[in-house]
Amino acid sequence: MAGLFQKILIANRGEIALRVQRACREMGIPSVAVHSTADAQAMHVRLADESVCIGPPAARDSYLNVAAILSAATITGADAIHPGYGFLSENAEFADMVEAHGLTFIGPSPAHIRMMGDKIAAKTAMASLGVPLVPGSDGELTSLEEARTVAARVGYPVLIKAAAGGGGRGMKVAFAAEELDEAWSVARAEARAAFGNDAVYLEKYLDRPRHIELQVMADAHGHVVHFGERDCSLQRRHQKLLEEAGSPAITRAQRDALGATVTAALARLGYRNAGTLEFLYQDGQFAFIEMNTRLQVEHPVTEMVCGVDLVREQIRIAAGQALGYGQPDIRFNGHAIECRITAEDPETFMPTPGMVSAFHAPGGLGVRVDSALYSGYKVPPYYDSMIAKLIVHAPTRAEAIARMRRSLAEFAVVGIKTTLPLHQRILEAPEFEAGDYTIHWLERFVGAH
């Protein structure tokens, strides 16, 4: 695969920086790690071909420091940048600047990143392409009165959501008309504080949906395929904790139908590279909520089931290569589950940074651990608390559950508290085993213990 790019700079840290580095190495492409002063001993730096320090611990001064990252690319002779997820991955200005510097941004076009980053624009675009939406306001709400009218039309409960939203922030439910006033002001205030943009819209609040998302990949030659769905309904505070591929709730025919709608829409949009369309699924209906224009944390479950390296595909496509296969070539084999292990107290969810005195990862058939941890590593307090993703793959869902249980039991992270015990409890829950859960199940389960 040499010749695609001279060298790729990986503008991220932790497990995802390692993940991208691994793809580059297998493709014979040298890569550059960047790091903050707090991450000088991090695994993504220790395993790097070369590395550049880009600033002090705070992310805004390092992993979000565009000037430092572009300088690092220039001085190391990198000709492409992979942003991973989080940080600058969905920042259209960054993608623009990368291209203005004559480098390739490994991701979608800045115009598509910008469009999908505005959830109102994203919904408008998807609706015009025939993708079903959650019922709600037709674009931005301009006044509380308008919110009242739309809420009365779609029926309570309703959700006020930030156009610039992300990470579950700027989202408030009103269960009845009396609560709308407060949901309106709180959502707007939160959106203003978190995103500097208080534009909001309204959606019907679904009481028992599943979160089902579709992985897509498009090349620059008009070919679009999908790699099936992931069920990410196990969430706490709108944040995913455990994901599965495929969803225990939908059939092969439903996957094919949704896939056909989505790939046709993205082909018309001229979308390029990896993307994920997120849907809520209830009463047999899919309703689009947003699109992520990047690699997702939970991409490994798709990789295991489809036998594809999604990062490699992103790199090939960014270099201008055609996909080289079509939808009928994509096979779905068995079932995969991912647990996101965080450095958090499993009861209170307070972050628990600190020294990992011993680390032992599970192994064996069908087990994958994506982590940058090692014995003697000090988890810094400055960044996201996810420390490992444990992914298992097996012929059936029941076997995947058995494999996940035994892998969780083997997993040892000594010195700091982690959410491993919580995942063990989830894997033992009868509702989980039955695949019988909605996006609201986990919060009740956590609260009930």
Distance CA 100, CA 314 (A): 20
Q: Least CB distance from residue 170 to ligand ADP, whole Å?
A: 7
Determine if 214 is a binding residue for ligand ADP (CB under 6 A): no
Q: Beta strands of 306-439 (E only): which ranges?
A: 335-342, 354-356, 358-360, 367-371, 377-379, 386-394, 412-414
Query: Is the CB of 16 or the CB of 408 nearer to ligand ADP?
Result: 16
Q: Segment 414-443, which members bind ligand ADP (CB under 6 A)?
A: 439
Determine if 160 is a binding residue for ligand ADP (CB under 6 A): no
Q: Which of 28, 167, 320, 364 binds ligand ADP (CB under 6 A)?
A: 167
From 197-205, 320-328, 371-379, 386-394, span contacting ligand ADP (CB under 6 A):
197-205
Among 294, 312, 316, 403, which one carries the catalytic annotation? 294
Tokens of 180: 């709308």
Return the amino acid letter for 24.
Answer: C
Determine if 331 is a binding residue for ligand ADP (CB under 6 A): no
From 1-9, 15-23, 201-209, 315-323, span contacting ligand ADP (CB under 6 A):
201-209
With residues binned 3-state (H G I as helix, E B as strand, rest as coil), the percentages for the chain, rounded to 5, are: 35, 30, 35
Query: Is the CB of 39 or the CB of 190 nearer to ligand ADP?
Result: 190
Tokens of 203: 């959606």
DSSP string, 79-119: -EEE--SSTTTT-HHHHHHHHHTT-EESSS-HHHHHHHHSH
What string marks each residue from 106 to 125 as x (binds ligand ADP by CB under 6 A) or -?
--------------------
Return the amino acid letter for 90.
Answer: E
Distance CA 255, CA 331 (A): 12
Q: Which of 289, 310, 341, 401 binds ligand ADP (CB under 6 A)?
A: 289
Q: Least CB distance from residue 286 to ligand ADP, whole Å?
A: 13
Q: Least CB distance from residue 354 to ligand ADP, whole Å?
A: 28
Query: Is the CB of 32 or the CB of 159 nearer to ligand ADP?
Result: 159
Are 438 and 209 in contact, with CB atoms under 8 Å apart? yes
Determine if 290 is a binding residue for ligand ADP (CB under 6 A): yes
**Nearest residue to 39 via CA among 65, 58, 66:** 58
Angle in degrees, CA 220, 333, 262, rounded to 5: 40
Q: Segment 253-282, which members bind ligand ADP (CB under 6 A)?
A: 278, 280
Count CA atoms closer than 13 A to 146's CA, side-chain side.
13
Q: Is 294 a catalytic residue?
A: yes
Q: Where are the alpha helices (DSSP H) in 169-273?
A: 180-195, 252-269
End-to-end CA distance of the chain: 51
Q: Segment 235-254, which members bind ligand ADP (CB under 6 A)?
A: 235, 238
Q: Which of 134, 249, 361, 392 binds ligand ADP (CB under 6 A)?
A: 134
Q: Which residues bind ligand ADP (CB under 6 A)?
A: 134, 159, 165-168, 203-206, 209, 211, 235, 238, 278, 280, 289-290, 439
Q: Which residues participate in catalysis according to the annotation? A: 294
